[in-house]
């Protein structure tokens, strides 16, 4: 509880500070996401990363569309993923994915996104192999 009393005001002050994304446009963002479980997401220019203790995904921007005011972006990415199956290596899976999503600003330096993630997984376990569609959502602080 004590941590919340300190963290929430600091977060509010940080988010209300002038946006660094507009002043130097480094193209870098980092945040939290639910993709292949809950984990950390980062983006550098046209490449997105997701990592947690059991999974890793890397996606490259294939197409980017935006509205006239550039407040909403639709995109298509192509990428690869790996999920650790735990103790038994036959539960591990790796594959290709094609995230299709929307991203939008919720504050000057904060970006949120939601995406559908069609994928094809390769695995030694027949039950884990094949086509599937997952979802993902996240929030990134842009620098």
The answer, as to whether pTM is greater than 0.95, is: no
* 19-32 exposure pattern, b = at least 16 Cβ within 10 A, e = fewer: bebeeeeeebbebe
- Tell whether the model's pLDDT for residue 115 goes beyond 90: yes
Interatomic CA distance for residues 116 and 76, integer angstroms: 10
- Tell whether the model's pLDDT for residue 10 goes beyond 70: no
Q: What is the pLDDT of residues 54-74, one digit of tens each?
A: 899 999 999 999 888 777 899
Share of the chain above pLDDT 70, in %: 76
The tokens for 91 are: 């539960």
């Amino acid at each position: 509880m004590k941590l919340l009393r300190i963290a929430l005001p600091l977060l509010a002050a940080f988010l209300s500070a002038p946006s660094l994304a507009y002043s130097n446009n480094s193209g870098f963002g980092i945040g939290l996401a639910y993709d292949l479980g809950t984990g950390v997401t980062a983006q550098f220019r046209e490449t997105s990363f997701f990592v947690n203790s059991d999974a890793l995904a890397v996606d490259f921007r294939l197409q980017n569309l935006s509205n006239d005011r550039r407040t909403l972006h639709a995109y298509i990415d192509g990428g690869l993923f790996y999920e650790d199956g735990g103790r038994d290596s036959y539960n591990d899976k790796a594959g290709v994915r094609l995230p299709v999503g929307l991203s939008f600003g919720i504050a000057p330096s904060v970006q949120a996104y939601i995406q559908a993630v069609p994928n094809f997984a390769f695995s030694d376990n027949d039950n884990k192999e094949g086509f599937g569609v997952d979802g993902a959502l996240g929030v990134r602080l842009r620098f």
